[in-house]
């Protein structure tokens, strides 16, 4: 795969005149249109004319030193879960085909445009964001980075988001993360994905999966790229990221659940990364997290995702249930059996879980764990529902731990060049976003050596 530039490098090139926003957009459009690439499966809609017009506008503003930010003119992709004014938001489904076009942009799309980013198009995704694998039976499944000739899954639910960045069809992507949907596709494709503290980024204008767990975050090529996009999405100032020295970092590796049943390549890559960090002076402590045992029983009836998605979908299922992905349909319908008492129990149990976990991890800078238990499965191997369910749960398991504790987390590529992609996840309590970015920036260049 080509080595595409970071947002910082693109900003420098725009400022110096080495490139223009129009050239960047034209190059992305050409990659999307390449018949030998994944563009047709990655994008559900390409807003060519509007993107070129926005690029020309940013070039004009830059000439008179009025660009809204140094990143103005850089093309980004938008997951099909978000409203874009004048377009139908389908959420990777056919059930919303006859919905009216959005009357305004989602809050996060508005913030990206305000900073001058150019919306290149809408990316493919798992239908209604309900899987960590990324397969879509309606629009096709973009092939992930690993062994493309064989066809491995891209990870989900932000599948097209990750592939758009991987293949240079966009230079950053807007995704969502309910149980790993930014981090899993990042891990499977060797890029960086970030799940922020949920309350920092507004959900307005996005189709919900679980309003208790949904978070909106970026996928990009580096930690600093994600930090830039995260600041824009959270409407915070973009400030220079100061990487923390690896020496002295206090990292806790949870031995409860998070290290169970790992693929050999995941275990080997993760342990090598930990040894490298320790060799550079990080203080790594393996700790039991008994609280994690509570999460499985909490989700036994489908948890927040099933109950809250069923509440949103129940009328649409009556009229359009036959066009849903059957695997998604089954998962949503689990919410029908949950009672109000079940849901209230969930809320109370989660509050207790968050408090107990935050107390447990307070002495450490971050948790470190594999992003996923598995490496990217072959698409062909998941035709069987049982195989799909097994691999989906393995993809989601570790990331879900962090969503359930209302934390923030980043997935960094930890594999060596040429090896199967493996992500290392750094996570912290809600509100520790800046610290997680600083830690990740400090170890980003170290862990793959």
| Catalytic (active-site) positions | 79, 157, 181
- In terms of DSSP H, where are the helices of 337-432? 340-361, 385-404
**Cα(237)–Cα(382) distance, integer angstroms:** 43
Rounded CA-CA distance 431/235 in Å is 15
355 is written with which tokens? Answer: 């408090």
- Please give the torsion angle defined by the CA atoms of residues 125, 398, 203 and 243, in that order, rounded to the nearest 10 degrees: -110
Token pair for 126: 């798992």
Q: Torsion-angle region of residue 349: left (phi > 0), alpha (psi -120 to 50) or beta?
A: alpha
248: left (phi over 0), alpha (psi -120 to 50) or beta: left
Whether 74 and 68 have beta carbons less than 8 Å apart is answered as no
DSSP 132-148: SS---TTT-----STTT
Q: How far is Cα 409 from Cα 368, in angstroms, rounded to an integer? A: 10
């Amino acid at each position: 795969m080509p080595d595409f530039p970071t947002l910082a490098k693109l900003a420098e090139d725009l400022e110096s005149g080495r490139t223009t926003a129009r050239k960047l957009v034209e190059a992305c459009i050409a990659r999307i249109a390449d018949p030998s690439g994944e563009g047709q499966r990655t994008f559900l809609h390409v807003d060519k004319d509007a993107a070129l017009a926005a690029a020309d506008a940013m070039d004009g503003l830059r000439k008179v030193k009025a660009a809204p930010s140094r990143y103005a003119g850089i093309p980004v992709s938008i997951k099909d879960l978000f409203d874009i004014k004048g377009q139908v938001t389908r959420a990777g489904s056919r059930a919303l085909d006859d919905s009216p076009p959005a009357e305004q942009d989602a809050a996060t799309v508005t913030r990206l445009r305000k900073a001058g980013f150019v919306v290149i198009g809408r990316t493919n995704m798992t239908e209604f964001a309900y899987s960590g694998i990324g397969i879509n039976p309606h629009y096709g499944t973009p092939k992930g980075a690993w062994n493309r000739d064989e066809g491995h899954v891209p990870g989900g639910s932000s599948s097209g988001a990750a592939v758009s960045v991987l293949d240079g069809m966009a230079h950053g992507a807007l995704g969502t993360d309910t149980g790993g949907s930014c981090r899993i596709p990042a891990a499977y494709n060797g890029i960086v994905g970030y799940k922020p503290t949920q309350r920092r980024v507004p959900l307005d204008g996005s189709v919900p999966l679980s309003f208790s767990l949904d978070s909106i975050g970026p996928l990009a090529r580096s930690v600093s790229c994600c930090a830039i996009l995260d600041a824009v999405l959270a409407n915070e100032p973009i400030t220079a990221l100061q990487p923390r020295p690896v020496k002295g970092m206090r990292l806790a590796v949870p031995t409860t659940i998070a290290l169970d049943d790992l693929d050999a390549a995941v275990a080997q890559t993760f342990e090598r990364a930990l040894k490298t960090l320790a060799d550079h002076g990080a203080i790594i402590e393996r700790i039991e997290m008994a609280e994690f045992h509570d999460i499985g029983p909490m989700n036994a009836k489908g948890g927040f995702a099933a109950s809250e998605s069923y509440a949103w979908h129940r009328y649409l299922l009556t009229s359009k249930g036959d066009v849903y992905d059957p695997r998604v349909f089954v998962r949503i319908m689990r919410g029908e059996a949950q009672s109000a008492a079940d849901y209230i129990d969930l809320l109370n149990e989660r509050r207790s879980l968050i408090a107990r976990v935050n107390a447990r991890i307070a002495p450490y800078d971050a948790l470190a764990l594999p992003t996923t238990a598995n490496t990217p499965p072959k698409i062909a191997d998941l035709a069987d529902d049982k195989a799909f369910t097994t691999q989906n749960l393995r993809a989601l398991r570790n990331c879900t731990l962090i969503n359930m504790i209302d934390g923030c987390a980043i997935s960094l590529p930890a594999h060596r060049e040429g090896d199967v992609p493996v992500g290392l996840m750094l996570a912290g309590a809600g509100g520790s976003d800046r610290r997680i970015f600083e830690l990740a920036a400090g170890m980003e260049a170290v862990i793959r050596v």
